[in-house]
Amino acid sequence: MKWDEFFVTGDPLIYGAMVSIVLVSLAILVGLTYFKKWGYLWREWLTTVDHKKIGVMYILAALIMLFRGGVDAVMMRAQTSMPDMKFLDGQHYNEIFTTHGVIMILFMAMPFIFGLMNVIIPLQIGARDVAFPRLNAISFWLFFAGAMLFNISFVIGGSPDAGWSAYFPLAGIEFSPHVGNNYYSLALQISGIGTLMTGLNFIVTIMKMRAPGMTLMKMPMFTWSVLITSVIIIFAFPVLTVALLLMMFDRQFGTQFFTMQNGGMDMLWANLFWVWGHPEVYIVVLPAFGIFSEIISTFAKKNLYGYKSMVISMLVISGLSFLVWAHHFYTMGQGAMVNGFFSITTMAIAVPTGVKIFNWLFTLHKGRIEFTTPMLYSLAFIPIFTIGGVTGVMLAMASADYQYHNTMFLVAHFHYVLIPGTVFAVIAGFHYWFPKVFGFRLNERRGKTAFWFIIISFNVTFFPLFFLGLQGMTRRMYTYSEETGFGPLNMLSMVGAIGLTIGFILLVYNIYWSTRYEPRDTTGDPWDGRSLEWSMPSPVPVYNFAVVPEITKRDEFWFAKQEGKSLSDKKIEKIHMPSNSGKPFILGIAFFFLGFFVVFSWWTPAIVAGIAVLLTMAAMSFDRDDGYYIPVEEVVQSEKRLRGERV
Amino acid sequence: MKKRGPLLALFFGLTMLLSGCSSLTVLDPKGPAARTLSDTIIFSILMMVGVLAVVYILYVYMLVKYRAKKSNEGYVPPHEEGSTKLEITWTVIPIIIVLILSVVTVRTTMAVENVPEGYENQEPLVIYASSSNWKWHFSYPEQGIETVNYVNLPTHRPVEFRMYSFGPITSLWIPQLAGQKYAMSDMVTKINLVADVPGSYMGKNANFNGEGFAHMNFEALAMSQAEFDEWVQDVKNNEGELTEAEFDKLLETPHVGRMSFASTHLSFSPPPEEGHHHSGSTEKENGNQEHQDNKEKFPEPSSTDEDEAEFDFDPNVHPDDPTPVDPGDESTHHEGH
Amino acid sequence: MKIDATQPLEYGTEENRNKIFGFWLFMGAEIALFATLFTVYFVLVDRFASGPSGADLFVIGPVLAETFILLTSSFTIGLAVHSMRLGLKKQMMIFMVITLVLGAAFLGIEIYEFFHYVHEGAAITTSAFTSSLLTLLGTHGAHVTFGLLWGTAILLQVRKYGLDHKTANKSFIFSLYWHFLDVVWIFIFSFVYLKGLM
């Protein structure tokens, strides 16, 4: 590899990006030094094992990735807004739709959900932290290392360009000889290990660390959704691990899994990818269902309708999610019977999903609905997601799919599922739980302005794509000619994309504005909530619960409020806490370099980095830190200080 | 009050669809296979609009009636666990809808996988469609000619495309004639279609295969059998033969315009073993029109490019009965209306 | 930290119980991982192209030796856990050492076998079959290698700190891992080697 191939050259957009990356990095370094914040950063964030802080870091990273993926999206819409547009060339376009897909799913949607999970789950079940706090930090740093590795690809070496599904043989060494797809296999592998550990951690947390009396059927719905999601993670992610391993071997060690010669089978990749990929959709959608359940029930001022059927429907969805993967390639020629089977399993998912929709509607029934910002997102979710759902049923019909497959119709469908299903959910959850973490709400008026921008622009952006698909426009086309007639609707979609951009900028501006001007919340319960997290003062103290509450029914806190009962009037005891540790952060760095060197097949440095990984793990194994205790007086005082103002 | 936008847009869209607005290529079929698909799509849209209507009506009702307002201040919503009766209702009705759609799906999938109804007794015209970065090669073994980036078809005669790829996975799609199917390097897939209206139709690769993907289009021109025969004769008389060297060079070239040759590449660069693949049974589905010739020539063990030498493809290409039962006679009668 | 004296040492604290439960979940993920590798192997097993097939390649001798060695090591790690529960530190360490030595012997034979395959013209790049075979065996081998490093680390900790609830917990979890690798090997032995030889 020559040095002029090392950095991506020749594109002014990329030079601009390089310059801004250097400037921003410098600004951060100078700022940290000037304000003497290095120690603070290290002590409070980089070494933290506190689930709340890890959650905040996940969300921060996810927001950054949202903008990275969003810039890709706007560039794509700009390039296709007019026939024969010359804004990007084919190669650059191929790179950004690939990175857009990967980043939005794996480095935006998942970490955002993991962030909310991290912050909220222990609070909802009355736990002091997750089961394995240090493993939790490792998960985060592995995710972060993977995300950074993936993101540097566009300035160093070049981004992957074979689509987020990276079908072989296109993604193989023969047709994609540059390092882009090495970044794909390694960045996803590293963050995937982190994801697997998160899944494991949360199953143990939810199964073993609930407050006394909280049986499974008394858990809040968000907790249920995270439990089921974690189980899906445990079974789906190893498949991705294997697929990525084989991809790396094929590309870097000359194996013959997906090649065109010597018995390789290109469609094996597609099968492995989607055996993971379809459950992955539910990994990001089920927690969203949980978030909506919490919010809708809170602001309808009613308990969740049909709790039991909500749980059962999620279990059914999680089971079916492993039986539908072939619907991603009905057109592979596997014959009518196989396609028929997968059509039926796919359409069957609509049944439990429909049950959920109706249960939400009947939660609203006889309620007293308050239109707060989080509630607006949740309410907008129902009709928009239903469009995504019914078009999903249409796509599930194998015969009809021969006409939708690979078209903009499909693109419209999955954006109609994933944006209301996941993005609205995480934004709603973000607004809803923000005061719990930071002690003040996001401004409602500004929040609602951003909401209307986002909701209307979303429909303007994606609804035209259904028609473009039926006109015969395929996805991933970087350009088209005037005669195709695709121009006007694409232009309309571009207008929507601009609106979405404004909406998201307003949303972030609201964070800044509210931080400065929004009044602080002194109650700990600004929304009149129902689940345990609202029984605590905001921001939540590091030890979470001074005393772990006893649970007798669902929505315990709601009923306690009605009866004027306190959940925290038991005797306070000293609290055991895990110590901070820098090793997860160091492990993340070691993994980053390991991945980076392997991407470029620089084996000697890669082995050194690999040894660094093993040594860090060994150091963790030998670490006998038992944590520390917060003495009773300190807990009493802090509770007095935090709760004293509330009376 | 909110979300009326998509609803309106949907109705607007529907009017457009049902009035048969011809700019929606997929819903403007010119052959029985595409017509089956178009009917299926419209049927499913109608069903789904029904579902949407129920959800939207309930939704608007709940939002309007139960919103917090001055008049219901102090109202305490009741505690409701749920209702078994209602929950069973909204489980069973969707199951019935899914069952109906399943039946439709299986029947229409069978229908489009096979030779369209009414054309079963005609000998189909076999066209091998192979893709290479970023071109389509169409070989007519029966006629002994080959084209690049355009394909001519006789109307009212079943056509069987057999697809494979010299590189990444591609997908052959002529939306107005039939749905798409992948072309892959280690197996041959099939599309059965009939064009019943003469005309020029957009054909393209629908599956992303790298840098030149956006330009990988071709024209599918449906014409009467007589015109088709004339064109074949014309190509045979005026175009040169395709040599192996020339073909290899062609494979290397990223983009070319239209080309025609008086011979096919099938003799020196045969398609991969036909009908064999990992998960299914195209063979069985297409049983009724299987050609006696390709079964025995391609034995079971998995073949690879290296095994080429074993397969002397040539006899297949020029079938033992070079003169097909002339389907032109009856089909020409249908033309011109 | 509350220590529950009614439980065996490795289950003594809440954290220990969580770790054991968590490790069972991890093994669930490992099962999914190996199941995927087996699936890939079965899909590609007949695609040996111009290279050798399983029947050409497999020799039963070393494989039987590997099986015997690994089964024995599973027995000795069981003895180690048994000694640990009786509080016999020295015996426990001896059995651990025997287990690790057997593991290393297994690995040695496997590496020899790999050289033999390459010598027979079955490198990892030869065909889809050899790629999937060597990746499946290699992944198992890598797990054994990691196990050797991990086991050594635990052994050092037992020597340094004795058998307390931490080291006991680690040793117990390690024994689960080691048994799991044995089970995977049984599957490899039956469905790769025996089936391939048939």
> pLDDT tens digit string along A20-65?
878 888 888 888 888 888 888 888 899 999 999 999 999 999 999 9
Do B31 and B154 form a contact (C-beta atoms < 8 A)? no
Interface of B with A in 216-275 (CB under 8 A): none
* B24 inside 8 A of chain A by CB: yes
Do C119 and C112 form a contact (C-beta atoms < 8 A)? no
Q: What integer pLDDT is reported at residue A570 of this predicted model?
A: 79
Question: ∠A409-A410-A414 over CA atoms, to 5°?
Answer: 120
Cβ-based contacts of B78 with chain A (< 8 Å) = 302, 366
Q: What integer pLDDT is reported at residue B322 of this predicted model?
A: 38
* A204 inside 8 A of chain C by CB: yes
Sign of dihedral through CA atoms B68, B70, B76, B78? negative
Q: Find where tokens 């099938």 sit.
A: B266
Report the gap between the CA of A65 and the closest CA in chain C (Å). 28
For B181, other C-beta atoms within 10 Å of its C-beta total: 26
Does the residue C57 lie in any domain? yes
Q: What integer pLDDT is reported at residue A5 of this predicted model?
A: 67
Between CA A541 and CA A533 the distance in angstroms is 12
Cβ-based contacts of A255 with chain C (< 8 Å) = 124-125, 131, 135
Statement: residue B313 has pLDDT above 90 = no
Between CA A233 and CA A478 the distance in angstroms is 34
pLDDT < 70: residue spans in chain C: 1-3
Q: What integer pLDDT is reported at residue A489 of this predicted model?
A: 94
Residue in chain C closest to B277 (alpha carbons) equals C43
* B278 inside 8 A of chain C by CB: yes
Distance (Å) of CA A382 to CA A292, A385, A395, A619: 10, 5, 20, 49
Between CA A173 and CA A225 the distance in angstroms is 40
Question: ∠B218-B219-B221 over CA atoms, to 5°?
Answer: 150
Q: Widest CA span of chain B, in angstroms?
A: 91
Q: Find where tokens 């097949």 sit.
A: A601
Element (H, E) at B187: none
Cβ-based contacts of C47 with chain B (< 8 Å) = 302, 304
How many helices (H) does chain B have, and how many strands (E)? 9, 11
* A357 inside 8 A of chain B by CB: yes
DSSP class per residue in A481-528:
-GGG--HHHHHHHHHHHHHHHHHHHHHHHHHHHHHHHSPBP-SS-TT-
CATH label of the domain that carries residue A179: 1.20.210.10
Do C66 and C111 form a contact (C-beta atoms < 8 A)? no
* B69 inside 8 A of chain C by CB: no
CATH label of the domain that carries residue C24: 1.20.120.80
Cβ-based contacts of A368 with chain B (< 8 Å) = 66-68, 72, 75-77
Interface of A with B in 378-417 (CB under 8 A): 379-380, 382-384, 386-387, 390-391, 393-394, 396-403, 405-407
* C157 inside 8 A of chain A by CB: yes
Between CA A204 and CA C109 the distance in angstroms is 38
Instruction: Kindly report the backbone phi and psi dihedral angles of residue B183, in degrees, each rounded to the nearest multiple of 5, phi listed first.
Output: -115, 125
Q: Would the CB atoms of B302 and C47 count as touching at under 8 Å?
A: yes
Does the residue A135 lie in any domain? yes
Q: Would the CB atoms of A94 and B210 count as touching at under 8 Å?
A: yes
Cβ-based contacts of A351 with chain B (< 8 Å) = 91, 94-95, 98
Q: Which stretches of A36-89 are DSSP H helices?
A: 38-40, 51-79
Residues 6+ apart with CB under 8 A from C196: C45, C53, C54, C55, C57, C58
* B306 inside 8 A of chain C by CB: yes
Residue in chain B closest to A170 (alpha carbons) equals B168
Between CA B160 and CA B172 the distance in angstroms is 12
Q: Would the CB atoms of A364 and B66 count as touching at under 8 Å?
A: yes
Residue in chain A closest to C127 (alpha carbons) equals A262
Report the gap between the CA of C43 and the closest CA in chain B (Å). 8
Q: What integer pLDDT is reported at residue B302 of this predicted model?
A: 39
Report the gap between the CA of A167 and the closest CA in chain B (Å). 8
Residue in chain B closest to C127 (alpha carbons) equals B304
Q: Total domain count for chain C? A: 1
Average pLDDT estimate for B167-174: 95
Does the residue C2 lie in any domain? no
DSSP class per residue in A633-647:
HHHHHHHHHHHHTT-
For C116, other C-beta atoms within 10 Å of its C-beta total: 13
Sign of dihedral through CA atoms A530, A534, A536, A541? positive
DSSP class per residue in A209-233:
-PPTT--GGGS-HHHHHHHHHHHHH
Does the residue A132 lie in any domain? yes
pLDDT < 70: residue spans in chain A: 1-5, 10, 644-647
Q: Which stretches of A103-132 are DSSP H helices?
A: 110-125
Do A609 and A602 form a contact (C-beta atoms < 8 A)? no
Residues 6+ apart with CB under 8 A from C115: none
Statement: residue B314 has pLDDT above 80 = no
Q: Find where tokens 């509080």 sit.
A: C87
Q: Which residues pair with B151 in a beta bridge?
A: B220
For C153, other C-beta atoms within 10 Å of its C-beta total: 18
User: How many inter-chain contacts (B to C, CB under 8 Å) are there?
Assistant: 9
Instruction: Kindly report the backbone phi and psi dihedral angles of residue A569, in degrees, each rounded to the nearest multiple of 5, phi listed first.
Output: -100, 25
Cβ-based contacts of B301 with chain C (< 8 Å) = 46
Nearest to A458 by CA among B327, B193, B6: B6
Q: What integer pLDDT is reported at residue B296 of this predicted model?
A: 37
Residue in chain C closest to B302 (alpha carbons) equals C47
Q: What integer pLDDT is reported at residue A154 of this predicted model?
A: 84
Pair of tokens at residue B144: 């002994």
Interface of B with A in 295-314 (CB under 8 A): 302, 304-306
Cβ-based contacts of A484 with chain B (< 8 Å) = 202
B70-83 burial code (b ≥16 CB/10 A, e <16): eeeeeeebeebebe
Cβ-based contacts of C37 with chain A (< 8 Å) = 242
ipTM score of the complex? 0.95
Do A210 and A127 form a contact (C-beta atoms < 8 A)? yes
Q: What share of chain B is helix, strand, coil (3-state, %, to 5)?
A: 40, 20, 40
For residue A204, the enclosing domain spans 37-518
A540-552 burial code (b ≥16 CB/10 A, e <16): bbebbbbbbbebe
Do B262 and B235 form a contact (C-beta atoms < 8 A)? yes
In this structure, which amino acid lies at residue B53? A
Statement: residue B292 has pLDDT above 80 = no
Statement: residue B298 has pLDDT above 90 = no
Q: Would the CB atoms of A255 and C125 count as touching at under 8 Å?
A: yes
- Residue A356, helix vs strand vs coil: helix
Q: What integer pLDDT is reported at residue B326 of this predicted model?
A: 40
* A85 inside 8 A of chain B by CB: no
User: How many inter-chain contacts (A to C, CB under 8 Å) are there?
Assistant: 117
Q: What share of chain C is helix, strand, coil (3-state, %, to 5)?
A: 80, 0, 20
Q: What integer pLDDT is reported at residue A26 of this predicted model?
A: 85
Residue in chain A closest to B56 (alpha carbons) equals A383
Residue in chain C closest to A193 (alpha carbons) equals C29
Q: What integer pLDDT is reported at residue A16 of this predicted model?
A: 79
Interface test with A, best of B24, B66, B79, B163 (most A CBs within 10 A): B66
Residues 6+ apart with CB under 8 A from A609: A590, A591, A593, A594, A597
Between CA A643 and CA A545 the distance in angstroms is 12
Interface of A with B in 158-177 (CB under 8 A): 161-163, 167-170, 175-176
Report the gap between the CA of B191 and the closest CA in chain C (Å). 26
Identify which of B55, B179, B190 has the shortest CB distance to residue A386: B55
Statement: residue B18 has pLDDT above 80 = no
Distance (Å) of CA A75 to CA A81, A106, A483, B217: 10, 20, 23, 24
Report the gap between the CA of B24 and the closest CA in chain A (Å). 4
Do A576 and A627 form a contact (C-beta atoms < 8 A)? yes
For residue C29, the enclosing domain spans 9-197
Query: What number of residues does chain B have?
Result: 337
Residue in chain A closest to B105 (alpha carbons) equals A397
Q: What integer pLDDT is reported at residue B9 of this predicted model?
A: 59
Does the residue C4 lie in any domain? no
Q: Is the pTM value of this prediction over 0.80?
A: yes
Q: What integer pLDDT is reported at residue B297 of this predicted model?
A: 37
- Residue A619, helix vs strand vs coil: helix
Report the gap between the CA of A257 and the closest CA in chain C (Å). 5
Q: Which residues pair with B154 in a beta bridge?
A: B223
Cβ-based contacts of A476 with chain B (< 8 Å) = 208, 213
Q: Would the CB atoms of B306 and C50 count as touching at under 8 Å?
A: yes
Q: Would the CB atoms of A472 and B26 count as touching at under 8 Å?
A: yes
Per residue in A213-271, pLDDT (tens digit) is 999 999 999 999 999 999 999 999 999 999 999 999 999 999 999 999 888 999 999 99
Q: Would the CB atoms of C44 and A208 count as touching at under 8 Å?
A: no
pLDDT band at B290 (very low <50, low <70, confident <90, very high): very low
Does the residue C3 lie in any domain? no
A131-148 burial code (b ≥16 CB/10 A, e <16): bbbbbbbbbbbbbbbbbb
Cβ-based contacts of C49 with chain B (< 8 Å) = 304, 306
Q: Would the CB atoms of B204 and A472 count as touching at under 8 Å?
A: yes
Pair of tokens at residue B274: 């036909």
Does the residue A624 lie in any domain? no
Does the residue A619 lie in any domain? no
Distance (Å) of CA A193 to CA A141, A190, A458, B248, C31: 11, 5, 33, 44, 15
CA dihedral A36, A38, A41, A43 (to 10 degrees): -110
CATH topology of domain B125-276: Immunoglobulin-like (2.60.40)
Do B265 and B137 form a contact (C-beta atoms < 8 A)? yes
Q: Would the CB atoms of C46 and B301 count as touching at under 8 Å?
A: yes
pLDDT band at B308 (very low <50, low <70, confident <90, very high): very low
In this structure, which amino acid lies at residue B330? E
Do A510 and A103 form a contact (C-beta atoms < 8 A)? no
Report the gap between the CA of A266 and the closest CA in chain B (Å). 8
Do A400 and B34 form a contact (C-beta atoms < 8 A)? no
- Residue B189, helix vs strand vs coil: strand
Using DSSP bridges, classify how beta strands A628-630 and B125-132 pair: parallel, antiparallel or unpaired: unpaired
Residue A42 preceded by cis peptide, ω within 30: no
Report the gap between the CA of A455 and the closest CA in chain C (Å). 39
